[in-house]
Amino acid sequence: MEPYFLGIGRYFVRTEVRVVSGILRGRKIEFEVNPLMRPTPQRVREALFSILGVSFNGIGFYDVFAGTGVNGFEAISRGASKTTFIERDFQLAQVIERYIKKFNVGHLGHVVCTDAYRWAARWIPAKESSIIFISPPFIDYKNQLDELFSMIRSFQEKVQPGSVVVVQTESEIPIGDLPDDAGTGWDIRKYGRNELQFWVKNDPNAPPAVSEPVNDEPTS
Protein backbone atom coordinates (compact mmCIF):
# COMPACT_ATOMS: atom_id res chain seq x y z
CA MET A 1 0.00 0.00 0.00
CA GLU A 2 1.39 3.40 -0.91
CA PRO A 3 -0.55 6.24 0.75
CA TYR A 4 0.90 9.71 0.96
CA PHE A 5 -0.01 12.76 3.01
CA LEU A 6 -0.11 16.22 1.49
CA GLY A 7 -0.30 19.00 4.02
CA ILE A 8 1.44 21.68 6.04
CA GLY A 9 4.59 20.58 7.81
CA ARG A 10 5.04 17.26 6.04
CA TYR A 11 8.47 15.71 6.34
CA PHE A 12 10.33 12.94 4.57
CA VAL A 13 12.34 9.83 5.31
CA ARG A 14 14.60 7.94 2.93
CA THR A 15 13.36 4.52 1.89
CA GLU A 16 14.83 1.86 -0.36
CA VAL A 17 13.12 -0.97 -2.24
CA ARG A 18 14.50 -3.58 -4.61
CA VAL A 19 13.10 -5.24 -7.70
CA VAL A 20 12.53 -8.91 -6.87
CA SER A 21 12.88 -10.71 -10.19
CA GLY A 22 13.45 -10.37 -13.92
CA ILE A 23 15.88 -8.27 -15.94
CA LEU A 24 16.04 -5.59 -13.22
CA ARG A 25 16.40 -8.07 -10.37
CA GLY A 26 18.22 -6.59 -7.39
CA ARG A 27 18.14 -3.01 -8.70
CA LYS A 28 17.55 -0.49 -5.94
CA ILE A 29 15.00 2.32 -5.96
CA GLU A 30 15.60 5.03 -3.37
CA PHE A 31 13.01 7.65 -2.43
CA GLU A 32 12.49 10.36 0.13
CA VAL A 33 8.89 9.89 1.22
CA ASN A 34 6.47 10.90 3.92
CA PRO A 35 6.67 8.30 6.73
CA LEU A 36 2.95 7.59 6.27
CA MET A 37 3.75 6.20 2.83
CA ARG A 38 4.55 2.48 2.86
CA PRO A 39 5.70 0.82 -0.36
CA THR A 40 4.10 -2.53 -1.16
CA PRO A 41 5.96 -5.08 1.01
CA GLN A 42 8.29 -7.43 -0.87
CA ARG A 43 6.32 -10.49 0.24
CA VAL A 44 3.13 -9.01 -1.22
CA ARG A 45 4.88 -8.07 -4.46
CA GLU A 46 6.26 -11.57 -4.81
CA ALA A 47 2.78 -13.00 -4.27
CA LEU A 48 1.21 -10.52 -6.71
CA PHE A 49 3.50 -11.40 -9.59
CA SER A 50 3.47 -15.10 -8.78
CA ILE A 51 -0.31 -15.12 -9.15
CA LEU A 52 -0.20 -13.01 -12.31
CA GLY A 53 2.29 -15.43 -13.85
CA VAL A 54 5.77 -15.29 -15.32
CA SER A 55 4.90 -14.18 -18.86
CA PHE A 56 3.94 -10.55 -19.47
CA ASN A 57 4.60 -10.59 -23.21
CA GLY A 58 2.03 -8.47 -25.02
CA ILE A 59 0.42 -7.26 -21.80
CA GLY A 60 0.37 -3.62 -20.63
CA PHE A 61 0.71 -2.82 -16.93
CA TYR A 62 -0.79 0.24 -15.23
CA ASP A 63 0.58 1.23 -11.81
CA VAL A 64 -2.22 3.47 -10.53
CA PHE A 65 -1.27 5.59 -7.49
CA ALA A 66 2.29 4.53 -8.31
CA GLY A 67 4.06 6.01 -5.26
CA THR A 68 7.62 4.65 -5.46
CA GLY A 69 6.75 2.90 -8.71
CA VAL A 70 8.22 -0.39 -7.51
CA ASN A 71 5.26 -2.42 -8.77
CA GLY A 72 5.57 -0.89 -12.22
CA PHE A 73 9.31 -1.54 -12.32
CA GLU A 74 8.64 -5.12 -11.26
CA ALA A 75 6.27 -5.45 -14.23
CA ILE A 76 8.88 -3.98 -16.60
CA SER A 77 11.46 -6.36 -15.18
CA ARG A 78 9.20 -9.33 -15.89
CA GLY A 79 8.50 -8.41 -19.50
CA ALA A 80 5.42 -6.16 -19.63
CA SER A 81 5.09 -4.68 -23.11
CA LYS A 82 4.48 -1.19 -21.70
CA THR A 83 4.11 0.09 -18.14
CA THR A 84 2.34 3.33 -17.27
CA PHE A 85 2.94 4.95 -13.87
CA ILE A 86 0.14 7.28 -12.69
CA GLU A 87 1.27 9.48 -9.80
CA ARG A 88 0.00 12.95 -8.86
CA ASP A 89 2.94 13.90 -6.60
CA PHE A 90 5.36 15.79 -8.86
CA GLN A 91 8.46 14.90 -6.86
CA LEU A 92 7.65 11.20 -6.83
CA ALA A 93 6.86 11.27 -10.54
CA GLN A 94 10.24 12.90 -11.21
CA VAL A 95 12.06 10.20 -9.28
CA ILE A 96 10.25 7.47 -11.23
CA GLU A 97 11.29 9.23 -14.44
CA ARG A 98 14.88 9.30 -13.23
CA TYR A 99 14.93 5.57 -12.57
CA ILE A 100 13.34 4.82 -15.92
CA LYS A 101 16.33 6.58 -17.49
CA LYS A 102 18.84 5.02 -15.08
CA PHE A 103 17.58 1.51 -15.84
CA ASN A 104 17.51 2.27 -19.57
CA VAL A 105 13.87 1.24 -19.95
CA GLY A 106 12.46 4.42 -21.47
CA HIS A 107 10.92 2.38 -24.28
CA LEU A 108 8.99 0.34 -21.71
CA GLY A 109 7.92 2.88 -19.08
CA HIS A 110 5.88 6.08 -19.15
CA VAL A 111 4.98 8.43 -16.28
CA VAL A 112 1.74 10.40 -16.13
CA CYS A 113 1.83 13.04 -13.39
CA THR A 114 -1.84 13.70 -12.72
CA ASP A 115 -4.75 12.89 -10.44
CA ALA A 116 -5.49 9.20 -10.89
CA TYR A 117 -9.27 9.64 -10.73
CA ARG A 118 -9.32 12.21 -13.53
CA TRP A 119 -6.90 10.12 -15.57
CA ALA A 120 -9.03 6.98 -15.19
CA ALA A 121 -12.17 8.81 -16.32
CA ARG A 122 -10.42 9.83 -19.57
CA TRP A 123 -8.44 6.65 -20.09
CA ILE A 124 -8.69 4.97 -23.49
CA PRO A 125 -7.82 1.27 -23.15
CA ALA A 126 -5.14 -0.43 -25.19
CA LYS A 127 -6.08 -3.05 -27.76
CA GLU A 128 -4.23 -5.76 -25.86
CA SER A 129 -5.01 -7.23 -22.47
CA SER A 130 -3.96 -5.11 -19.51
CA ILE A 131 -3.16 -5.50 -15.84
CA ILE A 132 -4.44 -2.60 -13.73
CA PHE A 133 -2.86 -2.39 -10.28
CA ILE A 134 -4.65 0.01 -7.91
CA SER A 135 -3.08 0.92 -4.56
CA PRO A 136 -4.76 4.13 -3.36
CA PRO A 137 -3.80 6.24 -0.34
CA PHE A 138 -5.40 5.03 2.88
CA ILE A 139 -7.33 8.27 3.27
CA ASP A 140 -9.14 7.64 -0.04
CA TYR A 141 -10.91 4.63 1.45
CA LYS A 142 -12.50 7.02 3.92
CA ASN A 143 -12.92 10.22 1.94
CA GLN A 144 -13.16 9.11 -1.71
CA LEU A 145 -14.59 5.60 -1.62
CA ASP A 146 -17.33 6.43 -4.13
CA GLU A 147 -14.74 7.83 -6.55
CA LEU A 148 -12.56 4.77 -6.05
CA PHE A 149 -15.46 2.43 -6.77
CA SER A 150 -16.35 4.47 -9.86
CA MET A 151 -12.75 4.13 -11.03
CA ILE A 152 -12.85 0.37 -10.57
CA ARG A 153 -16.15 0.09 -12.48
CA SER A 154 -14.69 2.20 -15.28
CA PHE A 155 -11.69 -0.10 -15.62
CA GLN A 156 -13.90 -3.18 -15.53
CA GLU A 157 -16.01 -1.78 -18.34
CA LYS A 158 -13.13 -0.54 -20.51
CA VAL A 159 -10.46 -3.23 -20.35
CA GLN A 160 -10.14 -5.91 -22.99
CA PRO A 161 -11.18 -9.50 -22.26
CA GLY A 162 -8.44 -11.39 -20.48
CA SER A 163 -7.42 -8.31 -18.50
CA VAL A 164 -6.94 -8.27 -14.74
CA VAL A 165 -7.81 -5.56 -12.20
CA VAL A 166 -5.94 -5.85 -8.89
CA VAL A 167 -6.75 -3.74 -5.83
CA GLN A 168 -4.47 -3.65 -2.78
CA THR A 169 -6.35 -3.06 0.47
CA GLU A 170 -5.84 -3.60 4.18
CA SER A 171 -7.92 -5.86 6.39
CA GLU A 172 -8.06 -3.11 9.02
CA ILE A 173 -9.92 -0.80 6.61
CA PRO A 174 -13.59 -1.85 6.22
CA ILE A 175 -14.72 -0.97 2.70
CA GLY A 176 -17.28 -3.69 1.98
CA ASP A 177 -17.40 -5.57 -1.31
CA LEU A 178 -15.63 -4.13 -4.33
CA PRO A 179 -17.74 -3.44 -7.45
CA ASP A 180 -18.57 -6.46 -9.61
CA ASP A 181 -21.43 -5.55 -11.93
CA ALA A 182 -20.50 -8.40 -14.29
CA GLY A 183 -20.79 -10.99 -11.53
CA THR A 184 -17.30 -12.32 -12.19
CA GLY A 185 -16.27 -12.29 -8.54
CA TRP A 186 -13.15 -11.13 -6.72
CA ASP A 187 -10.43 -13.50 -5.60
CA ILE A 188 -9.10 -12.24 -2.24
CA ARG A 189 -5.61 -13.17 -1.04
CA LYS A 190 -4.43 -12.16 2.43
CA TYR A 191 -0.85 -11.50 3.53
CA GLY A 192 -0.87 -10.30 7.11
CA ARG A 193 -2.87 -7.09 7.15
CA ASN A 194 -2.39 -6.63 3.38
CA GLU A 195 -4.97 -7.94 0.92
CA LEU A 196 -4.79 -8.37 -2.84
CA GLN A 197 -8.12 -8.60 -4.64
CA PHE A 198 -8.13 -9.92 -8.23
CA TRP A 199 -10.84 -9.46 -10.85
CA VAL A 200 -10.52 -11.01 -14.32
CA LYS A 201 -12.51 -9.99 -17.39
CA ASN A 202 -13.44 -13.31 -18.90
CA ASP A 203 -12.53 -14.24 -22.46
CA PRO A 204 -13.47 -17.80 -23.42
CA ASN A 205 -11.11 -17.69 -26.42
CA ALA A 206 -7.99 -16.51 -24.58
CA PRO A 207 -5.71 -18.05 -21.95
CA PRO A 208 -6.09 -16.54 -18.47
CA ALA A 209 -3.86 -13.62 -17.53
CA VAL A 210 -3.18 -15.16 -14.12
CA SER A 211 -1.32 -18.38 -13.47
CA GLU A 212 -3.50 -19.49 -10.57
CA PRO A 213 -7.27 -20.12 -10.65
CA VAL A 214 -9.55 -17.28 -9.63
CA ASN A 215 -12.43 -17.65 -7.18
CA ASP A 216 -10.78 -20.46 -5.22
CA GLU A 217 -10.27 -20.41 -1.48
CA PRO A 218 -8.19 -17.40 -0.37
CA THR A 219 -4.70 -18.11 0.87
CA SER A 220 -3.10 -16.64 3.93
Which of the pair, 140 or 13, is modelled with greater confidence?
Answer: 140
| Integer Cα distance of 131 and 158 in angstroms | 12
Instruction: Please check whether residue 107 is in contact with residue 140, taking contact to mean a CB–CB distance below 8 angstroms.
Output: no
How much is the pLDDT for 202? 83
Total count of domains within the chain: 1
Q: Name beta bridge partners: 14.
A: 32
Mean pLDDT of 199-204: 82
Sheet containing 194-200: order of strands: 109-112, 82-86, 60-64, 130-134, 164-170, 194-200, 187-191
* pLDDT bucket at 204, cuts 50 / 70 / 90: low
Q: What is the pLDDT of residues 205-219, one digit of tens each?
A: 655 555 565 544 444
In angstroms, rounded to a whole number, what is the distance separating the alpha carbons of residues 72 and 68? Answer: 9
Specify if 138 maps to a domain. yes
User: Which residues form the domain of 151?
Assistant: 13-200
Residue 205 placed within a domain: no
The angle at the Cα of 170, spanning 165 to 175, to the nearest 5 degrees, equals: 75
Task: Tell me the per-residue pLDDT of 157-171, one tens digit each, with 9 for 90 and over.
Answer: 999 999 999 999 887
Residue 35 covered by a domain: yes
Q: Record the pTM.
A: 0.85
**pLDDT (tens digit per residue) in 42-69:** 899 999 999 998 667 789 999 999 999 9
Domain CATH number, residue 196: 3.40.50.150
Picking from 78, 72, 84, the residue whose alpha carbon sits closest to that of residue 56 is 78
pLDDT digits (tens, 9 = 90+) for 76-135: 999 999 999 999 999 999 999 999 999 999 999 999 999 999 999 999 998 889 999 999
